[in-house]
């Protein structure tokens, strides 16, 4: 096959007349010799498989839905009866959106209303809907069961294609299954009517090659576009310049690769690094003390007069701190009108914020993150007011 393609490309590129070259290009669907065809590792018939994501979820399934809703290129049903009424589709869309309440999150994102929420309906959404929701929601909706059976046969073949491993017999089942499915598709939708030829685009013919592609390149999940699409979504925010977008992308890709190498070299897999700089927002009202450079107090805050048990502890602490244990009354006089300012949060140097339960009540929809593990140091000689200090903290 590769040799035949190269011969046709050679005939197009080296035709004696331009008119002859144009005619051959239309006949073969080839405009000339591709430069990468000179690589010995490239086979033009096997090295470029159909992308299963776009072939199935972005084309085939969407076209089927357009046929069922009567919105496919202005075509009518012809001799068939596969179009569903708008009220039926409204119910299917609403049921799809409501199904997310009973589907575990590990299956993927919550399914949107496929009829009205087009912006949230992605290839992943169509995949989940086709494989799991469609067979249930479309049951007994068609006037003739042959359309439903045709759809469920497609679902069976898709499940088979998505297996992690495939045997030779399973690949043969896929080959025969898609052959029969395409023949039935032509009978149900094309109806061998030239006016309905647009129902048979290239994506229908491509189904006949899925088994050959699997034999040449492996299971469809090994080369579909989902990883590429996800990577494109990751690097899209890296475009900072409208004038030089590709320079921004190149710089981001290089730096991301460097970070990955740093993680591998220094075994930092448990400490994820990121190119995204997240500056710590400075609160409009916060308390910072030069003596405590590692933390800052954040609102809410309030001033209170401490109760007697707390006041006695403060008096003992200050008497020890300022060596006034013999005359603690002086400390008491200084604290008669004293107030304490309470703060609801403390931010430590790395940007993490710790909330205080007393001033930051836990709501019904919030997680309690106020648990702090600490080690308390007990005074071994609390009654010895004249003892010499062993440790001093500031």
pLDDT at 59: 94
Domain-embedded: residue 393: no
User: Is 156 in the same domain as 213?
Assistant: yes
| 242 or 184: which leads in pLDDT | 184
User: Is 178 in the same domain as 103?
Assistant: yes
Where do the DSSP E strands lie in the chain? 295-304, 340-348, 353-355
Q: Are 136 and 122 in contact (CB under 8 A)?
A: no
**Mean residue pLDDT across the chain:** 87
Count of C-beta atoms within a 10 Å radius of residue 142: 19
User: Is 195 in the same domain as 319?
Assistant: no
User: Is 76 in the same domain as 8?
Assistant: no
Domain-embedded: residue 150: yes
User: Is 217 in the same domain as 324?
Assistant: no
Closest CA to 98 of 85, 82, 84, 117: 117
- How far is it, in rounded angstroms, from Cα 153 to Cα 185? 11
pLDDT at 136: 96
Which of 166, 195, 222 is where one domain is finished? 222
Q: Confidence band (pLDDT; 50, 70, 90) for 364?
A: low
The pLDDT tens digits of the residues spanning 346-363 come to 888 767 888 877 776 666
User: Is 161 in the same domain as 143?
Assistant: yes
Expressed as residue numbers, the domain containing 14 is 2-38
User: Is 69 in the same domain as 179?
Assistant: yes
Mean pLDDT in residue range 254-270:
85
User: Is 214 in the same domain as 168?
Assistant: yes
User: How is the beta sheet containing 340-348 ordered, strand by strand?
Assistant: 295-304, 340-348, 353-355
| 290 or 375: which leads in pLDDT | 290
| 358 or 211: which leads in pLDDT | 211
User: Is 230 in the same domain as 218?
Assistant: no
Q: Poorest-confidence range of 122-131, 145-154, 164-173, 246-255?
A: 246-255
Q: Is the pLDDT assigned to residue 370 strictly greater than 60?
A: no
The pLDDT tens digits of the residues spanning 54-80 come to 999 999 999 999 999 999 999 999 899
Token pair for residue 244?
Answer: 């030089």
Q: Is the backbone of residue 73 left (phi > 0), alpha (psi -120 to 50) or beta?
A: left
Mean pLDDT in residue range 177-195:
95
- How far is it, in rounded angstroms, from Cα 121 to Cα 132? 15
The pLDDT tens digits of the residues spanning 274-309 come to 666 666 566 567 888 888 888 888 888 888 888 888
Q: Is the pLDDT assigned to residue 108 strictly greater than 80?
A: yes
How many degrees, rounded to 5, is the angle at CA 393 between CA 391 and CA 394?
155
**CA atoms within 13 A of residue 135's CA, in its CB half-sphere:** 14
User: Is 80 in the same domain as 197?
Assistant: yes
Counting the structural domains of the chain, the total is: 4
pLDDT at 139: 94
Provide the 8-state DSSP code for 243.
Answer: S
- Mark 40-75 as b/e (b = at least 16 C-beta within 10 Å): eeeebeeeebbbbbebbbbbbbbbbbebbbbebeeb
User: Is 248 in the same domain as 305?
Assistant: no
Mean pLDDT in residue range 311-340:
84
User: Is 167 in the same domain as 230?
Assistant: no
Q: Is the pLDDT assigned to residue 204 strictly greater than 90?
A: yes
Q: Poorest-confidence range of 176-190, 256-270, 348-362?
A: 348-362
The pLDDT tens digits of the residues spanning 5-44 come to 888 888 998 998 999 999 999 998 888 888 888 888 888 8
Domain-embedded: residue 206: yes
């Amino acid at each position: 096959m590769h040799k035949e393609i190269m011969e046709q490309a050679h005939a197009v590129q080296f035709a004696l007349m331009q008119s002859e070259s144009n005619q051959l290009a239309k006949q073969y669907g080839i405009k000339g010799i591709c430069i990468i065809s000179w690589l010995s590792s490239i086979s033009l018939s096997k090295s470029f498989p159909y992308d299963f994501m776009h072939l199935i979820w972005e084309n085939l399934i969407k076209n089927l839905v357009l046929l069922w809703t009567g919105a496919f290129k202005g075509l009518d049903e012809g001799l068939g009866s596969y179009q569903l009424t708008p009220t039926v589709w409204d119910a299917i869309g609403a049921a799809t959106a409501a199904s997310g309440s009973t589907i575990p999150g590990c299956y993927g994102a919550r399914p949107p209303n496929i009829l009205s929420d087009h912006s949230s309906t992605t290839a992943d959404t169509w995949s989940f809907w086709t494989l799991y929701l469609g067979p249930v929601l479309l049951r007994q909706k068609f006037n003739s069961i042959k359309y439903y059976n045709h759809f469920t046969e497609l679902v069976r073949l898709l499940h088979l294609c998505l297996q992690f491993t495939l045997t030779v017999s399973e690949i043969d089942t896929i080959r025969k299954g898609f052959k029969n499915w395409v023949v039935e598709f032509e009978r149900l939708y094309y109806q061998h009517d030239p006016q309905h030829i647009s129902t048979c685009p290239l994506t229908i013919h491509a189904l006949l090659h899925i088994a050959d592609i699997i034999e040449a390149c492996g299971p469809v999940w090994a080369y579909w576009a989902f990883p590429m699409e996800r990577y494109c979504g990751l690097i899209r925010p890296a475009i900072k310049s409208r004038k030089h977008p590709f320079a921004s992308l190149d710089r981001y890709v290089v730096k991301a690769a460097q970070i990955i190498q740093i993680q591998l070299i220094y075994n930092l897999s448990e400490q994820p690094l990121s190119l995204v700089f997240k500056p710590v927002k400075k609160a409009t009202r916060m308390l910072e003390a030069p003596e405590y450079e590692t933390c800052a107090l954040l609102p809410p805050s309030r001033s209170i007069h401490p109760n007697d048990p707390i006041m006695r502890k403060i008096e003992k602490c200050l008497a020890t701190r300022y060596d006034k244990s013999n005359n603690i009354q002086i400390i008491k006089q200084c604290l008669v009108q004293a107030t304490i300012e309470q703060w609801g949060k403390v931010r430590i140097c790395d940007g993490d914020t710790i909330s205080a339960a007393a001033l930051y009540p836990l709501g019904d929809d919030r997680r309690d993150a106020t648990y702090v593990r600490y080690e308390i140091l007990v005074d071994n000689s609390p009654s010895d007011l004249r003892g010499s200090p062993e440790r001093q903290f500031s």
